[in-house]
Amino acid sequence: MWAWLAHDLRFFRAQRGLSGDAVARLINCARSSLSRLENNEAKLDEHQAAVLDERWQTGGHFGTMLWYARLGHDPNWIKQHEDIEAQASVIELFESIVVPGLLQLPEYAHALIEASGVSDADGVLERRMARQEVLTRDPSPILRVLLTESVLDWPMGGAAVMRKQLAHLVRAPTAARRKATVSRSQ
């Protein structure tokens, strides 16, 4: 929906024979911002949509598109999730199938990622491990985790990997606090 909205912004502008500068002035933004809107690198806001609908007499087209775009699936949702997670003061996780990514050891995570059939397993693993740095920042977030027993019973990566992962789960809260304390004292 966001891509469609960006397309329609460019289409309606071209249909009316307007320059980027003219539309940028209309919606009160820089020409470069309009370019980002038309390339789906930025998101149209409610005020901008209302101005376009009123001036171009679209019958509420941009406002309606904006409403649906906000409801729809964002294919880059993981980036938004990671940004929120990185700033959170409290992280609460519930997992019924696998160990949460923030608590996965590399061996466990690698086995899980490979089992999913992802083409760039090493890249996904690197990003997942980087996310865990949030647990050692200062101040570290409060982490609350609820796991179902099936998480512990599913032997991801084999018995040796699972033993190591389970031992890590037992130590994880203490290890995160210890790393945070060491980084504060240095």
Q: Cα angle vertex 95, ends 85, 107, to 5°?
A: 80
Q: Taking the CA atoms of 107, 131, 89 and 97 in sequence, report the sign of the dihedral they define.
A: negative
The answer to whether residues 92 and 64 belong to one domain is: no
Q: How many other β-carbons are positioned within 10 Å of the β-carbon of residue 107?
A: 18
Q: Which residues contact 30 (CB under 8 A, 6 or more apart)?
A: 24
Q: Is 27 exposed, middle or buried (0-12, 13-18, 19+ CB in 10 A)?
A: buried
Q: Domain with 8 in it: what CATH number?
A: 1.10.260.40
Same domain for 168 and 102, yes or no, is yes
Same domain, 162 and 84: yes
Residue with tokens 């491990």: 129
Each residue of 87-142: pLDDT tens digit?
A: 999 999 999 999 999 999 999 999 999 999 888 999 999 999 999 999 988 888 99
The 10s digit of each residue's pLDDT in 14-69 is: 999 999 999 999 999 999 999 999 999 999 999 999 999 999 999 999 999 999 99
Domain that holds residue 38: 2-71
Please indicate, yes or no, whether residues 52 and 101 belong to a single structural domain of this protein. no
* Domain total of the chain: 2
Residues 165, 120, single domain; the answer is yes
- Which of these, 48, 44, 49, lies nearest to 3 by C-alpha position? 44
94 and 180 belong to one structural domain: yes
**41 in the same domain as 16:** yes
Domain end, chosen from 31, 51, 71, is at 71
Cβ(153)–Cβ(110) under 8 Å? no
**Residue 41 neighbours by CB under 8 Å, 6+ apart:** none
Same domain, 100 and 173: yes
Same domain, 6 and 31: yes
Contact of 109 with 125, CB cutoff 8 Å: yes
Considering the domain architecture, whether residues 162 and 92 belong to the same structural domain is answered as yes
Does one domain contain both 93 and 164? yes
Q: Does one domain contain both 42 and 86? A: no
- The answer to whether the CB of 156 falls within 8 A of the CB of 115 is yes
pTM of the shown model: 0.59
